[in-house]
Every structure is written in C-alpha cells, then in structure tokens.
Amino acid sequence: MSNVVVPTTLDEALALLAADPQLSPLAGGTDFMVEVNHGARRPVRVLALRAVAELRGWRRDGDVLVIGAGCTYVSMADPAFAVAAPALAQAARTIGSPQIRNMGTIGGNLATASPAGDTLPVLMALGARVEVASTEGTRTLAVDELITGVKRTVLHPAELITSVRIPVARGPQEFCKIGTRNAMVISAAGIAVVLDREAHTVGCGLGSVTAAPVRATDAETFAAEAIDWSTLRAGAGTTERFGTLAADAATPIDDHRSTAAYRRHAIGVMARRALERCLS
Amino acid sequence: MTDVATHRRTGAPRVGESAPRPDGVAKVQGRFAFSSDLFAENLLWGQTIRSPHAHARIIDIDIREALSLPGVHAVLTADDVPGELHYGLEHQDQPVLAADVVRYFGEPVALVAADHPETARRAAAAVVVSYEPLTPLVDSALAAQADPIHPDGNVLRTLTIRHGDLDATAAVVVEGTYEVGMQDQAFMGPESGMALPSADGGVELFVSTQWLHADRRQVAGCLGLPEDMVRITLAGVGGAFGAREDLSLHVHLCLLSQHTGRPVKMVYRRPESFVGHVHRHPARMWYRHHADTDGTLVKVEARLLLDGGAYASSSLAVIANATCFAAGPYRVPHADIEGTVVRTNNPPCGAMRGFGAVQSCFAHEAQMDKLAAALALDPVELRRRNALATGDTLVTGQVITGAAPVAEVIDACASHPLPDLAAVDEQPMMHRPGGAGRTADAHHVRRATGFALGFKNLLFSEGFDDYSSAVCRLENGAVTITCACAEVGQGFVTLAQQIAREELGIDEIVLAPAETATVGSAGSTSASRQSWMSGGAVQAACRAVRGRVLQQVARRRGVALDGLVLRDGIIESLDGSVRVDLADAVDGPIEETAEYHHRPTQPLDENGQGDAHVSFAFAAHRAVVDVDPELGLVRVHDMTTAQDVGRVLNPLQAIGQIEGGTAQGVGLAVMEELIVEDGIIKNRSFTDYLIPTTLDMPTVRIAALIEEPEPDAPFGAKGIGEPPTISSTPAIVAALRAATGLELTRVPVRPQDIALPRS
Amino acid sequence: MSTQSYRLRVNGADHEVAEGWIGESLLDVLRDRLGLPGAKNACEEGECGSCSVLVDGVLSCACLVLAAAAIGTEITTVEGLGAEGALTDVQQAFIDAGAVQCGFCTPGLIVAIHDLLDQDASPERLVVEEALSGNLCRCTGYGRILEAVDLVAARRSAS
C-alpha cells in the first residue's frame, strides 16, 4: 500500500480522493512543501497531481480562455497567453522567482487562498469562473464564492479545482503590485484593472488589502459610466476619482509588511495609474 | 646536495595578484563541506526548544513525554550543564540553557537528540515548558530607569567623550534625531555543526564560526573540561558578517554528544537562525553640529542610544565604536558625545559588519548634509574642508599616525564620471522603481544623487591584544601553512597561499585545517583584521622558516648568512658560489610558529580620550537612485565608491568585498529590517526579511582603490571588508532626500516614509 | 510517522529510498540519504534558490519537491552537471571571475545559469538578472556572478 499516488487521469484522482479522507492533494508544492518544511503540515498520504493530463496547460475556447488548474505561472509567459490575458500574464511574472514560477500553479493559488495571492485580483476583475470537481460531479464558482476568508475555501476534502475560465481580453488590462523588493516579494497591495470594450464594463480587483477577494464595485460602476467607450477616453478627474473609490473598497491591515494607511494609499495611486494606462 | 642548473618556474600568483581561491573548485562542484553537510555513522540529530516569550519566568519543564517518544535519545535542560552555566564573548552573562527566566524570544531552554530530524522536531514540540509571562522591557529609552531584567543590570555600558571646550559655539547650528532599525547578517549557510565524543572524555566539534579559540574557551568552561579536551575544527562557513562571533549551538551540540555518547548534528532552519544569532544594534541618535560660516566644523554634540537586547555579546565594543566614530572622519576640535548601550528583552545584538560605525555614519552624514544646506555649500565641498588627514587628532584625542588619504577618497569618488544610465523615460520597466510590479511610468519617477563618507577602526581596540598565530612547515620542498583564521568567504585562504609564495618562492602551498588542536588563536574574523593579523602571522612564520633554511645553508656551505638570499625557490649567494633548490637545501622538516601582535592600544579614560585604536580606514560612496515619490518605491541604479586600502593584495577579492559590502549597505538603506514587536521578531524568514536580489542590486563601480601604504601593516595593506557597508547606506538616503525633499531620518527607508511622510 | 519506499533517478543513476518519512523534501533526500549535499538548505521555503536542481529539465527548488512524489522524473543536481569531476564552463567562469566567496549560494546559481544558457545562449543583462532573481547571494553583491555569466556566453560564442 503506497502512501504516494500519482494518477494520470482526473477520474482516477477524484476516485482516490473520495476513497481516502487522509489523502492530501499536491500540485506545484510551493505552498504545501513550505508548510511541511515548517512543521505546520504532516502529510499522511499524498496525491500528486502533476501527471493528471486534464489539469495541465490552457486552451482558447472561442471567447474564453480555459486554464487548467495545473497550469504553471511560467506557462503564462507564453506570448499567445499574454495576448489573450495580459493582466494575468503580468501578475504571473511577479510571483516568486523563476523556480517558483516553474513549479507553482494557478489552481494552487486559488486553493491556498492567501489574501496576497497574485492571480486573485486579476481573476476577480475578469469575473473568472472556477470549475471544481469530485466524484459527485462538478460545480462552477466565482472566485469570491470559492474563497471566503484568509486561507479559507468552500472546497470539500474530496474536491479538486480543475480549471479556471476567463474571458479573452476585449480591451486594455493592467496589473500592478507593490513590493519593497524587485523580485520574490509578497505583495503589500495589488490591483487589476480590466476594460471590456464590447460590454462597456470595468473590472477592478484588489489584492492584499482584504481578507477575501474583493472587487471595487463602486469604482467599476463609476469608471464604466465615465469612460467614452468609442474613444476610450475619460474626462479630467476620472482616474483620480476611480483611484479614490478603489481605495475606499480596501480594508487593509497593519502588519509586519506594511501599514493599512500605506496600503490604502497605494491602492488609490495604482488604480489611478492603471486606468490612466488603459485610457492612454 | 646538488646545485640546480635550471631556474625554478614560479608562476602561481603572489601578493598583489588575483590568485584564484584554493577552495573554488570544490565550491563550484558542490563538494565543499559546509558545516551543514557533515555526516557521521551513528549520527543523532539535535533540536533546540526555545522560549515563545520575550520575558517570562520558567515554572516547570516537563520532559517525560518527549523522552518517551521512540527514537529520542536525550532531552536536556540547564540541570544537565556540567560546568559554567553562563557564557559570553565580553561578559559571561548568557545562560547555556535558561533555567528560571527567559529574557528574549527564542532563548534556548532545552535540547533534544533523536535519530531523525523529524523525530527531534516532534520531540521538541512534546517538551512542555510552563511559563509565567512577564512584561517585556522593549523600549531602550526606558531601560536605564527600569527594573533590572538581569542581575548585571540594564545599562551595559556608557561612554563619554569630552574633547576640547564643551562650551564652544559657532554661527551655524543644525540638529537632528536619527534612527537605524535592526539589520540582520542573514548569511546563507545556517548555524550548523557536529559534535563527536572523544575517547578521552573530551569532545570534537566541527562548526561554522568566526573565532575557534574564543569558542573553545567558552565551550570548555560550560562543559567543565580543560580546553585541550575540546577540539574545535572549522567546518565550511556559509558567510558570517559578525553573526558567528558568539556561540550559538556549540555547547548544545557538545552536551548532546557527551550525554548520548554518539555524534550529534544540528542544523538551524532559517526561522530558527533568525533568533539563533545576534543582530545589528538598533540605534537612536541625537546630534547637534556647530560650524563657522565657511563650513569649518567647530563642535559636535551627540547622544547615542543602542539597544543591546537581552545579553551583552559584544555590545561594549560596539558602543565604543559608535561613540568614537560618532563625529565622522572630520576634524572636530570640540566634542561632547555620549553613547549608551542598554539591555532589554529585545533580541540580543552584537557584531555585524561595520560594528557601530554604520549607525553613527548614517547620522553624521545626514547632519553634514543638513549643515551644507544651511551654509548653502556643496555637500562634497563641506566634507573636503573638514576631512581628516594624517597628523590630525580625533575626538578621542588620538593622533592619526597612519595613512589617512581622506581627501583623495572624497575626490576620487565625487569626481568619477556619472554612470551612463538610461534616462528615466528610457529605463526598462524592470529597472524602474517597482520593477516587475509595474507601478511606475517614467513621469512618476525622479532621479537624484547622494554622497557620503565614512570610516572606522581596523583590528581590536582599547588595549585588547587580538594576536594571531600561524605555523609554517617546510618538508621535502612542500610548504604547509596552519592557521586558525576562520575562512568565512572573504578569501583569507587565498591570501595565505599568496603570502607564503611571496616569502618562500614555492608555488605549492598546502593549507592545513583550521583547528584548535594544532595551532594557537588567530583571533576573530571580524574588525577587518585578518589580512593584517593572520596575514602577518603567516608572513612571520614563513620568514622564520626562511631564516632557518638560510642559516642551515650558510652553516653547511661555510658562507656568510648575510650573503645568501632565497628567491623564487632558490637559495643563492650574492657571489654566485652557492645555488641550491629549496627542496634540496635542508635535511628534515623545518617548522616555525609565529605569533603576530599589533602595537598596543590604550583604554579610553573617563573623558573618552586615549590611543584606543590601531588603524583607520576610510571610504566614500556616491549613489544614483530613481524614486517614485507618490508610492515611495526606490531603485538604486549605481553605487560609485572609492576606498582607502593601503595596498591591494588580491584585486578580484578586493572587488568582491567592496561589492558585497555595498550590497549590505543597499539592503539597510531600503529593505532590510527585523520587525520586532513586544520583543517578538515578526519576519523570521527570507520571505519577509528582504535582502537585495539580482534585480535590486545596483552596479557597483570602483572609482579608485587608494593605495597609500599603512606603515605598520604587513604589505602596507588595510583591511577592506567593513568600510563598504558604512558610507553606502547614507549615500543612498542622501539621494532619496534630494529626490523627495524629505528629511528621511530613519533607515531602512520604507515606502510609507516617502509616500506618507507625516503619518 | 508515515513512510514510503521509492526509487529516484538522480544524475542518471537510480537510487532507492527505503522507508523514508513521507514529508521529506527532495532536498532532504539528496543531502541526507543520497550523499549529494551540493544542493543547499538556506531557507527551505523557495525564497533563496540555494537548493536549485533540474527536475525533468525544469529549474526547481528541491526544498519544494516532495521526494516521494518525484518518482519517474529525471533529476539533475550540481554534482551531475560536469562529466566525471571535470568543471563545466560555468563552473570555470565562476572561479575565473571571482564569483565565489563563501560558496553557499554557488551550486544553486551554477544550476540556474546552466538552465538559462541552455535556453538563451547570449542573454541580455536584464534577462540574466531576472533569470537569477530567485538566487540570493549575501557575500558578493552579484557583480562577479553577472560577469561570470557574460564570460561563459562570450567563451561559448567564440568557440
């Protein structure tokens, strides 16, 4: 009886999970192994997901990008991916280090549900849909339905995130993140701004400044109405007001990485600049 | 014995050349044995149980459950310490294991040895320590008046400098209060080692350290053993920067090994490492500078308060440095300076590269810029006008008798052409403030430069005789050098070979292991002292061997001793009648031991006056930085530097020290700080204690290495490791002030300090 | 403790691990079981790169790989880069450029640079900086390390 299983199909993986409540799923390991190494997690039996074909890679399905939960951050550096999902590609580039980007996965970012997860504000701004599966079937959740608090998801032990669906870019997108160092830095504050030229909507996701993922909905509504969608321009004061509204949606804390006041300030500045870039 | 017709080819690099490291091949292949790579048959793994409180009484330690776990071989407490219960570098105030009180977060309380590191970890978690938490003393300003947290009191040392006329005044006065946060040495190789019991009841210890013999003295004392029964061998060291000058796991490993009768290995994980060694002293400094309208400094007043944390370590020497060098490398006729280091329940602080001078330099350079602004003088010119030179008197009353090319250092650095940097709007995103985070566009960024000058002493001070020893052995034409100098990465091993080659003319120089059993103390690898002191010992030992060889040849050949020379491995007489290869010149081995001492120094009197230091070294930096003032993010693009080095012994290694030291200065300026709240270190990982990466590090350009030979130093060479860490930080902050118009009185400068200055 | 027996393929050779604790990282196994201490343990959380190895040719932190789950992969460590004790050109360049001080970060960097140059023979300085941004060095300030990379690239294009 092996304590490590390496299934090659999703059905196999789900069946194993359903049969064994002590089986821990392992994807890239960039969060899982940190916990093990620190003594915070003591695995009993492990389900390695790296060989499950259905979880790998990404594909374009018309207007939708379907990203496998096992898609690594480095895969998002692919120019074709960056064209379809610019803000997500930008975010992926800021995560960790080249080593981490080779190993870490978008599914892991969602399942770990850290408030500082760099893909989360982008996925929120895009209105991403997360597909979750078990032997009982599948369900589709918004990111803020999946993640309910700091490192808290609604996932049942026998469920796996299988894919994330986002709309292919239909307008300018920006991702910005604050870190006191230029590499390998946990975001003190992050933001994603997504413009949809066809739907005339603005998506704005905030990172590291709320317990659970949040969209700055007042800022989104304001900008959507203020932007002239035919020229992608907006009147004076629009980006500043957008920044203020985005900052108002943040509920940051003081911690050893930064202060609440700075984080709120940074959100406001980044939101303004991100929208300026989108409109220029 | 035959004369040699052919001239020996001596191609290997000598002093002054970029000799390659002798351990380089092993290191690049991953074969070099660091202290965490050691292995032995029958090994047990050690683990330390540490206090979760910054201050608490220990009520009870229950080891029964831990001891009962399968695979656990020992659980030890303070009751198991056979010898001295306390150790310490300068002051024996630190418990081997806490007995009735813990005084800092992470203080060792108990030890475990088990057959697998995970078992040791679980056993450690099973040790139940009952604490009665006490209110921690965490504000250094309150320490002197607070109840003592240690029988030796809360004031570790106060030093006063009264020089000249304390009532002197001048036309222009500037005042300021400055703060330096707690920096960490953050070496890559974790604390680690292995202890093995010896058949004679003693112990063998393989460990990463900076000073084998100081370790031996303390370890032997705590084990209740004579020193020669504690045999310490230097294991490969993964960096030190001051953090290995104090004991960490040394006694613990030996205790576990003695108790179990087996080899015991211990490796600290990174979070444990952050509590397992001393840090740089946080400092609060008030200054008032007085100057004439032409910029001539008249008086410096300063009050320095350093937080030494729970135990003394080398705090007494650090405050001496901070105080002695508080006025900076300038002529200051009148000075009223007081430096105090106190004990608190904060993490213990001790040696870190720069050793007190880093903190003072941040403050005195900020003051000099303030003065320059008040005088409407160029900041570099102000420094030129006041720069020290040979023959000048320091605020401690000591006259500088050695090399002091301060004006040259200033001019070389300040006049070096500015870097050919891409304009702000042409910088790639990755090199803009914020980098990959894409936070800034070109029009959000401002560029500025800043300049700073710093200095400190070399070698130990205040009467401390930090001698070094070395053995040179010549046998069958091969030379072996034995020296206990701790190689921590700085390249002494390379230098030792270069020096031996220089003195004996033989290419092949073997370095014996650094250990206490075979050679005397080499002193600490710190205070930028080893090139001078251990270099001097190696040189002296080699010269002694050379002398004996020549004596033997003179006697055998019946020629005058003073007519013989040893050159390039050949002994020849000036008249050509004798010419013999060194390998053939003598029967049997020749071995000489040398003990090298620097000239004696004096203690500082009650006014802080005295010839307390051996030598001084000076350096300047000019920083070019880009700032995004609205977000407070910074990109340091260029650090140009000039340094007073006496003589360059190995150019490539000199560059390495200067670049590496500058990197640590960059870190302190903009990103490195241990965040301590109520005595607890909040960021005990490389996730949150940030040191520069390749994407953060500026180009370091060396404008000049000023080679004015130091009269007393071997080869005229000064130590070079510390000066680069001293003037680098203030140069960057000066640039940030120029870019933002903000006072920036604290390092590290955090984004909120620039973006939200009043909050 | 939950244990596992498995086989790993490292530097072209098979190694058996008998009853290893399931939580051991590849870094633990390389260093403590397989006699391959080249990969280093400076942080054990993927923040320093000193444990960098190649797993199926992909630059990875060995501390973040669960050893028992690395079955069926080809693992390359610093010890497996050069042929039979010979130095690779990257290793030689490190010595020539003065890029080694304490040496603790060195093996991880050697592996990362081999990986970089296999993908990009003449990388721009900024590309090198980003590729090596996951490898911390505390001694050198990176100057000589970046010079070493330029030296290798130049030597390779000259030959």
User: How far away is chain B from the Cα of A76, in angstroms, using its nearest Cα?
Assistant: 15
Mean pLDDT, rounded, of chain C: 97
Give contacts of C112 with chain A, Cβ < 8 Å: 98-99
Indicate the number of domains in chain A: 2
Q: How far apart are CA B45 and CA A142, in angstroms?
A: 48
- The CATH number assigned to the domain holding A20 equals 3.30.465.10
Distance from CA of B135 to the nearest CA of C (A): 32
Count of CB atoms situated within 10 Å of the CB of A193: 32
Segment (H or E) for B141: helix B140-143
Nearest-angstrom CA–CA distance, A113 and B123 = 31
Using alpha carbons, select from B581, B543, B577 the residue that is nearest to residue B560.
B577
Distance CA A158, CA A24 (A): 9
> Based on the domain organization, do B41 and B28 belong to the same domain?
no
Distance from CA of B432 to the nearest CA of C (A): 12
The pLDDT score that the predictor gives to residue A241 is 98
The answer to whether residue B628 scores a pLDDT higher than 90 is yes
Contact between chains at C45 and B25 (C-beta distance less than 8 A): no
Contacts of A44 in chain C (CB under 8 A): 2, 22
pLDDT at B9 exceeding the cut of 80: no
Is the domain of A70 the same as that of A42? yes
C39 touches chain B (CB under 8 A): yes
Where are the domain boundaries for CATH 3.10.20.30 in chain C? Answer: 3-80
Interface list for C 109-148 with B (CB within 8 A): 110, 126, 128-130, 132-146
Residues B582 and B652 in one domain: no
**Mean model confidence pLDDT for chain B:** 96
Q: Are C135 and C59 in contact (CB under 8 A)?
A: no
Express each pLDDT in A133-181 by its tens digit. Answer: 999 999 999 999 999 999 999 999 999 999 999 999 999 999 999 998 9
Name chain C contacts of B236, Cβ cutoff 8 Å.
103
The pLDDT of residue B568 is 82
For residue B393, what is the DSSP state? B
User: Residues in chain B whose beta carbon is closer than 8 A to a beta carbon of chain A?
Assistant: 121, 125, 269, 271, 430, 434-441, 444, 630-633, 635, 670-671, 675, 677, 682-683, 686-688, 690, 692-696, 750-752, 755-756, 759
CA separation, residue B411 to residues B364, B365, B452, B642, B706 (Å) = 19, 17, 12, 9, 11
- Cis (ω within 30 of 0) for the bond into B748? yes
CB contact under 8 A, B237 and C102: yes
| End-of-domain residue from the set A143, A167, A191 | A167
Question: What is the rounded average pLDDT of the residues A49-68?
Answer: 97
**Are B314 and B446 members of one domain?**
yes
Q: pTM of the predicted model, to two decimals? A: 0.98
Q: Which stretches does DSSP call E strand in chain A?
A: 4-5, 23-26, 45-48, 58-61, 64-68, 129-134, 137-142, 147-149, 152-153, 160-167, 173-178, 189-196, 201-207, 214-215, 227-228, 233-234
Give which of B673, B628, B681 is closest to B54, Cα–Cα. B681
CA B659 to chain CA centroid, Å, is: 15
Q: Residue A36: which of C6, C23, C58 has the nearest Cβ?
A: C23
CB contact under 8 A, A38 and B693: no
| CA separation for the pair B719, B556 (Å, rounded) | 41
Q: What is the mean pLDDT of residues B717-735?
A: 98
Residue contact A186–B759, C-beta within 8 A: no
Residue B615 reports pLDDT greater than 60: yes
Residue C32 pLDDT greater than 60, yes or no: yes
Which residues make up the CATH 1.10.150.120 domain(s) of chain C?
89-158
Q: Which residues of B touch A183 (CB under 8 A)?
A: 435-436, 693-696
Asked whether the beta carbons of residue C64 and residue A184 sit closer than 8 angstroms, the reply is: no
Q: Is the pLDDT of residue C4 over 90?
A: yes
Interchain proximity C64–A42, CB inside 8 Å = no
Q: Write down which chains contact chain A via at least 3 CB pairs under 8 A.
A: B, C
Task: Report in angstroms the alpha-carbon separations of B588 from B2, B506, B510, B519, B584.
Answer: 16, 17, 18, 21, 10
A4/C contact by beta carbon, under 8 A: yes
In which band, very low, low, confident or very high, does the pLDDT at B4 lie, cut at 50, 70 and 90? very low
Distance CA A7, CA A135 (A): 15
**Is B751–A180 a contact, with Cβ atoms under 8 angstroms apart?**
yes
Tens of pLDDT, residue by residue over C36-71, are 999 999 999 999 999 999 999 999 999 999 999 999
Q: Which residue in chain C is spatially nearest to A29 when comparing CA positions?
A: C64
**Chain A: residue whose CA lies nearest to B634:** A180
> Of C49, C68, C71, which has the smallest distance from its Cβ to A99's Cβ?
C49
3-class DSSP assignment, residue A190: strand
Chain B residues touching A273 at Cβ < 8 A = 439-441, 444
**In the predicted model, is pLDDT for residue B5 greater than 50?**
no
- pLDDT single digits (tens) B531-569: 999 999 999 999 999 999 999 999 998 899 988 988 888
Chain-chain contact of B695 with C129 (C-beta, under 8 angstroms) = yes
Quote the domain boundaries for residue A258: 173-278
**B6 within domain boundaries:** no
Contacts of C103 (CB under 8 A, 6+ apart): B23, B24, B27, B28, B32, B34, B236, B238, B489
Q: Do A115 and A160 sit in the same domain of this protein?
A: yes
Residue among A45, A48, A99 minimizing CB distance to C2: A45
Q: Are residues B306 and B384 in the same domain?
A: yes
Task: Answer yes or no: do B652 and C140 touch at CB < 8 A.
Answer: no
**Partners of residue C127 in chain B, C-beta under 8 Å:** none
- Token pair for A107: 């599914």
Interface contact A34-C64, CB threshold 8 A: yes
Task: Tell which residue, B745, B22, B48, has the closest CA to residue B369.
Answer: B745
Pair B634, B568 in one domain = no
Do B338 and B300 share a structural domain? yes
- Say how many CB pairs under 8 Å bridge A and B: 102
Residue B437 predicted with pLDDT over 90 = yes
Residue B172 in any domain: the answer is no
Tens-digit pLDDT profile for residues B324-351: 999 999 999 999 999 999 999 999 999 9
| Length reported for chain C | 159
* Domain of B501, in residue numbers: 24-32+467-597
Cβ within 8 Å, pair B188-C50: yes
pLDDT at B753 over 50: yes
| Residues B321 and B396 reside in one and the same domain | yes
Residue to substitute from A176, A181, A187, A253, interface B, most B β-carbons within 10 A? A181
- Please compute the mean of the pLDDT values over residues B741-748 and round it to a whole number: 98
Instruction: Output the pLDDT for position B10.
Output: 59
**What sign for the dihedral angle of Cα B117, B118, B123, B128?**
positive
C86 shares contact with chain B (CB less than 8 Å): no
CB contact under 8 A, A176 and B439: yes
Q: Which of B210, B698, B489 is nearest to C98 (CA)?
A: B489
* Cα separation, B232 vs B514, whole angstroms: 9
Q: Are residues B544 and B647 in the same domain?
A: no
CATH number at residue A236: 3.30.390.50
Structure tokens at A90: 């930008």
CA dihedral A258, A264, A269, A270 (to 10 degrees): 70
| Same domain assignment for residues A144 and A235 | no
Question: Above 80 in pLDDT, residue B300?
Answer: yes
Of B450, B368, B418, B440, the closest CA to residue B736 belongs to B450
Q: Which residue, among C24, C41, C113, C147, would best test binding to B if mutated, counting the most B CBs under 10 Å from its CB?
A: C41
C42 touches chain B (CB under 8 A): yes
Whether B149 is in a domain gets the answer: no
Backbone Cα Rg of chain B: 27
pLDDT digits (tens, 9 = 90+) for B262-287: 999 999 999 999 999 999 999 999 99
Biggest CA-to-CA distance, chain B: 85
Give, for B321, the enclosing helix (H) or strand (E).
helix B315-324
Same domain for B256 and B295: no
Chain A positions in Cβ-Cβ contact with residue C119 (cut-off 8 Å): none
Residues of C within 8 A of A102 (CB-CB) are 58-60
How many Å lie between the alpha carbon of C95 and the closest alpha carbon of chain A? Answer: 25
A45, β-bridge pairs: A23
Rounded to a whole number of angstroms, the distance from the CA of A99 to the nearest CA of chain C is 5
3-state secondary structure B579-630: EEEHHHHCCCCEEEEEEECCCCCCCCCCCCCCCCCCEEEEEEEEEEEEEECC
Measured between beta carbons, which residues in chain A are less than 8 angstroms from residue C131? 98
CA distances to B300, B394, B452, B578 from B547, rounded to whole Å, are 51, 40, 47, 16
Q: Is the domain of B617 the same as that of B525? A: no
Q: What would the CATH number be for the domain defined by C89-158?
A: 1.10.150.120
Kindly state whether residues B314 and B390 are assigned to the same domain. yes
Taking phi first (over 0 means left), then psi (-120 to 50 degrees means alpha), and beta for anything else, what does residue B35 get?
Answer: alpha
**Domain-located, residue B18:** no
Last residue of a domain, one of A111, A137, A167: A167
In chain B, the residue whose alpha carbon lies closest to the alpha carbon of C145 is B694
Q: What angle do CA B620, B316, B191 make, to 5 degrees?
A: 80
Residues 44-83 of C with CB under 8 A from B: 44-45, 47-48, 50, 77-79, 82
CATH number of the domain enclosing B488: 3.30.365.10
Give counts: helices (H), strands (E), chain B: 18, 31
Does residue A159 sit in the same domain as residue A28?
Answer: yes
The fold adopted by the segment(s) C3-80 is Ubiquitin-like (UB roll) (3.10.20)
| Residues B387, B318 share a domain | yes
Nearest-by-Cβ selection for A46 from C22, C47, C49: C22
Helix, strand, coil: what percent of chain B each, to 5?
30, 25, 45
* Residue B204 belongs to some domain of the structure: yes
Average pLDDT over residues B460-488: 97
Inside any domain, residue B152: no
The yes-or-no verdict on residue B241 having pLDDT over 90 is yes
Q: Which of A167, A198, A233 is the last residue of a domain?
A: A167
Using a CB-CB cut-off of 8 Å, the residues of chain B touching C97 are 652
User: Based on the structure, what is the number of domains in chain B?
Assistant: 3
Distance, in Å, from the CA atom of C133 to the CA atom of C126, rounded to the nearest integer, reads 10
Which band of pLDDT confidence, cut at 50, 70 and 90, is reported for residue B1? very low
